[in-house]
Structure 1
Amino acid sequence: MAGSLALLPLTAACTAGEDDDAARSRPVRTAGAVVTAAPDAGVVAPAKVEVIAGPTGCKARIRVEAAELRQGVCHTEKSDYVITTFPEARFQQVWLESAAMYGGRYLVGSRWVVSAEPKTLETFRLRLGGTIEQLGGGDPAADPSAS
């Protein structure tokens, strides 16, 4: 079993005739989790806020430094956003459950989350990997920033 898991990255990397960018940004399911390659950044968990901020064009200002998470704020000409990282997956899960009561879309990676305007999330997904998730029962069509 361990041998087959070790070969997974090698077989996933060998794609014949596929567009490299499309292959790198495609989510891969392993053991129930979604793992998406970070095409430009190579972001690997546990990434630091500063590592995630780099490919987005920001030098993050850390606003929370706690045992459960680190959070940095980014201000750029195009967007303002928040990057949150977690030392353990269970802390990320609690954070996502709490954020669900506010609703909205988030870019979710392995032990990191980016909170930004929906139009910015897709650009960041291409740079960082992860998946865009709609949290809460909110209707995306009712989101005034979606239009």
Structure 2
Amino acid sequence: MQTHRGRVACAATAGVLAVLSLVTACGGGDEGGKAAAKSTPPTVAADAAGVVAPAKVEVIAGLTGCQVKIRTEADELREGVCRTKEGDYLITTFPAEKYKLTWLDSAAVYGGKYLVGTRWVVSAKPALLEQLRPRLGGTIQQLRGVGPTAPSAS
């Protein structure tokens, strides 16, 4: 059974892919990206290194201690799923900042909190986002949903 956040992430991804396919042309594959994806990601914390995590799913996953499973490969975004003892989360990266902004606009319909960096977004429960932020950098953004608020399942 898929969780509410999982349905939201799937719907947001589908919406973004539909919108982006209308405004972008089909691009070629990145031959060099496959070899780079196999390299070992750094394990230094983002704050300790004084940098923000780069927009590469595998590198961001490495910074969080996750063995990522890629679930979406598209010209406009890449998305990977992390399952850890701290919780599950999605890492979405974009080849350009404009794609991230379009994705955030689409996700705003559903509301929720997201950890947002340059060309990347992490979707998780708010407590987990707080744990990941020191390792990745970025800012936690609250997106407003549209429509009636569903009762909380406490």
Q: TM-score, normalised by structure 2?
A: 0.62
1:53 maps to a residue whose letter is A
Per-residue CA distance 1:77-136 (angstroms, 9 max, x = gap) = 120000000000110011000000010000000000000010000111111000000011
Amino acid at match of 2:120: W
Q: Say whether 1:97 aligns with 2:105.
A: yes
Q: Is the Cα–Cα contact under 8 Å of residues 43 and 52 in structure 1 kept in the other structure?
A: no
Size of the aligned set, in residue pairs, is: 106
Aligned to 2:71: 63
Amino acid at match of 2:101: Q
Compute the RMSD of aligned alpha carbons.
2.3
Question: What residue number does 2:86 align with?
Answer: 78
Aligned-partner Cα distance in 1 for 2:151–2:131 = 19
Q: Which residue of 1 aligns with 2:131?
A: 123
Cα 1:44–1:58 shift into 2, 3 Å: closer
| Corresponding residue SS for 2:90 | strand
Deviation above 3 Å: which 4+ runs of structure 1? 40-45, 142-145
Q: How far apart are the structure 2 equivalents of 1:143 and 1:108?
A: 27
Q: Which amino acid aligns with 1:68?
A: E
Q: Once the 2 structures are TM-superposed, how far is the Cα of residue 56 of structure 1 from its aligned partner?
A: 1.2
* Mapped partners of 1:54, 1:90: distance in 2: 25
The amino acid that maps onto 2:69 is: R
In structure 1, runs of 5+ residues without a counterpart are 1-36
Structure 2 distance, partners of 1:143, 1:124, is 28
Aligned amino acid, residue 39 of structure 1:
D
Q: Give the TM-score normalised by the residue count of structure 1.
A: 0.65
1: CA distance, partners of 2:151 / 2:142: 11
Q: How far apart, in 2, do the equivalents of 1:124 and 1:101 lie?
A: 24
Identity of aligned residues (%): 62
- Asked if the contact 1:43/1:51 (under 8 Å) is kept, the reply is no
Does the C-alpha gap of structure 1 residues 80 and 135 become closer, same or farther in structure 2, counting only changes over 3 Å? same
- List gaps (5 residues or longer) in structure 2: 1-44
Within 1, Cα distance between the matches of 2:125 and 2:151? 11
CA contact (8 A) 2:110 2:145 kept: no
Matches within 5 A, 1:1-147: 38-40=46-48, 42-45=51-54, 47-137=55-145, 144=152
The separation in 1 between residues aligned to 2:151 and 2:47, in whole angstroms, is 29
Whichever of the two has the greater Rg, that structure is: 1
What is the CA–CA distance in structure 2 between the aligned matches of 1:82 and 1:143, rounded to whole Å?
A: 24
